[in-house]
């Protein structure tokens, strides 16, 4: 295996990426040093780890692995209404990741740092005999008291979601061979939705002081909306028929009832689910038009607890599996 050592990696590979932000100190020191955020803003920090074979497939292209690791964290910034500033990348690399793999990983990272206008501020590189493990720590800024939380929802608020749901989970089923579809374009669309999430950073920024509560859908709509209910001290009623589907997802689900719950319970969508008072519905719709992103009202917050799914006729719409409380 050809593998650069840690010092060559830092000076040759990471330092050029770190030039995007002065706080990285060119990765020449033990830590990054960040000046206070402008205008008294607060700093929002989140950490996520992805493991080869667990959160991505060992055969996934390395550039897409990097972009997913980054985008999962950007999605946390979106959920908080924060403007992303920069990331720290800690990598535990196994013998499976040689220099060629790493070059492709770095290319993907570099591309997305550019796409989202953020810096690589620091990190760590170690070796592991086990599967590779990537931990991204992300920092962002938000004005005082403007961050979106899970706990701000009130009974009577509308519940909205961005984009379409189930695409990521269906994409994973396609990639692992559990599901097949004949239309290559649609299959490619779904696989891409699994591999390269679209963190809704601009939507998070637009929802500051519009949404009462928000989070991103990583564990599935029912699970994540359940978190909002728990934090907000209420329940939610969701009209399952209103949950927005892509054409590709509709095509998959039309053929086979096996996966009909995936838009409700499948993870990896990284869309936002948020609550807003009914009086702000017009503002929400304007934001959707401005961003070119479908925003769909799927239900409302209600007294009680937990998420209740109903069919179009108002009758309960039970899930096929209990599946929303997952073991890790």
What residues line the site for a second copy (CB under 8 A)?
Answer: 3, 5-7, 25, 28-37, 40-51, 53-55, 76-77, 79-80, 82, 88-92, 94, 121-131, 133, 135, 137, 139-140, 142, 144, 147, 149-151, 215-216, 231, 325-328
Instruction: Give the residue with the Cβ less far from a second copy, 133 or 190.
Output: 133
Question: Closest approach of Cβ 254 to a second copy, in Å?
Answer: 33
Q: Is the dihedral of CA 101, 166, 73, 281 positive or negative?
A: positive
Rounded Cα distance, 31 and 43, in Å? 17
Q: Which residue has the tokens 């928000």?
A: 214
Question: Closest approach of Cβ 56 to a second copy, in Å?
Answer: 12
Chain-centre distance for alpha carbon 153: 21
Question: Closest approach of Cβ 111 to a second copy, in Å?
Answer: 22
Distances (CA, A) of 316 to 303, 307, 308, 309, 313: 17, 11, 7, 6, 9
Instruction: Give the residue with the Cβ less far from a second copy, 187 or 273.
Output: 273
Backbone angles phi, psi at 183, to 5 degrees: -85, 105
Instruction: Give the residue with the Cβ less far from a second copy, 99 or 239.
Output: 99
Rounded Cα distance, 51 and 39, in Å? 37
Instruction: Give the residue with the Cβ less far from a second copy, 169 or 223.
Output: 223
Question: Closest approach of Cβ 11 to a second copy, in Å?
Answer: 9
Question: Closest approach of Cβ 239 to a second copy, in Å?
Answer: 25
Rounded Cα distance, 89 and 83, in Å? 18
Instruction: Give the residue with the Cβ less far from a second copy, 53 or 114.
Output: 53
């Amino acid at each position: 295996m050809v593998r650069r050592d840690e010092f060559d990696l830092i000076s040759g590979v990471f330092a050029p990426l770190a030039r995007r932000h002065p706080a990285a100190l060119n990765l020449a020191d033990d830590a990054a040093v960040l000046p206070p955020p402008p205008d008294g803003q607060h700093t929002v920090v989140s950490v996520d780890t992805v493991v080869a074979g667990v959160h991505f497939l060992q055969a996934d292209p390395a550039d897409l692995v990097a972009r997913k690791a980054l985008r999962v964290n950007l999605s946390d910034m979106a959920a908080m209404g924060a403007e992303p500033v920069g990331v720290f990348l800690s990598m535990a690399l196994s013998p499976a990741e040689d220099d060629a793999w790493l070059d492709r990983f770095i290319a993907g990272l570099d591309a997305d740092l550019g796409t989202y206008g953020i810096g690589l501020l620091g990190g760590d590189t170690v070796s592991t005999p086990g599967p590779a493990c990537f931990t991204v720590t992300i920092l962002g800024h938000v004005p005082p008291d403007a961050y979106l939380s899970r706990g701000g929802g009130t009974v009577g608020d509308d519940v909205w979601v961005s984009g379409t749901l189930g695409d990521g989970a269906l994409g994973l089923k396609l990639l692992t061979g559990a599901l097949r579809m004949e239309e290559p374009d649609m299959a490619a669309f779904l696989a891409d939705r699994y591999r390269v999430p679209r963190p809704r950073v601009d939507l998070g920024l637009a929802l500051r002081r519009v949404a009462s509560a928000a989070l991103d859908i990583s564990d599935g709509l029912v699970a994540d909306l359940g978190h909002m209910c728990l934090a907000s001290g209420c329940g939610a009623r969701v009209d399952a028929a209103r949950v927005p589907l892509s054409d590709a997802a509709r095509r998959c689900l039309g053929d086979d009832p096996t996966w009909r719950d995936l838009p409700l319970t499948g993870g990896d969508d990284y869309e936002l689910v948020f609550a807003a008072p009914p009086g702000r519905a017009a503002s929400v719709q304007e934001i959707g038009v401005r961003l070119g992103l479908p925003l769909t009202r799927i239900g409302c917050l209600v007294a009680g607890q937990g998420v209740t799914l109903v069919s179009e006729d108002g009758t309960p719409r039970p899930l096929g599996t209990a599946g929303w409380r997952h073991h890790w």
